[in-house]
Chain A
């Protein structure tokens, strides 16, 4: 069975993704249809960050994955056979 920790981690992952999805949806989809001087705009960064932040995050994630794969491959490289 999933332990208490498993359940906590899983539920928090689901919650985080739901939160992120809701926030980003409002930011990208809803905000252009809201008046520019509405209170809602105070809770969001300027619109260009809606593209910049995910791009930077994707770049960082890809770099981390690349570094991890590279490190694993370096570690597992078999020493060349000496004749």
Chain B
């Protein structure tokens, strides 16, 4: 079974479960309130994911920090590389 088939299978199973509850596909007498919740559930999940993404971006923006140690390290490495290249005869 390829990965694609696996994903399609999972998606189909989820869609079937959704149809079973939201559309009452088998006429099993799903309560009205439950059906009303289940019907917009895919969109709700999308909205929830969007909110999570937005919150993550916002949190990272708010706590964005400078990496002083990394900058120092990088500067040192650039210096080393320059030295090395100069020794090998590169003219700047």
Q: List A residues at the B interface (Cβ < 8 Å).
A: 1-2, 6-7, 9-18, 20-21, 24-25, 28-29, 32-33, 47, 50-51, 54-55, 58
| Chain A interface, DSSP helix/strand/loop, else mixed | helix
Please, how many angstroms separate the alpha-carbon atoms of A47 and B36 in the complex? Answer: 9
27 contacts between A and B (CB under 8 A): A2-B61, A2-B62, A2-B65, A7-B62, A10-B62, A13-B54, A14-B54, A14-B62, A15-B58, A16-B54, A16-B58, A17-B50, A17-B51, A17-B54, A18-B51, A18-B55, A20-B51, A20-B54, A21-B52, A24-B44, A24-B47, A24-B48, A28-B40, A32-B33, A32-B34, A32-B36, A33-B33
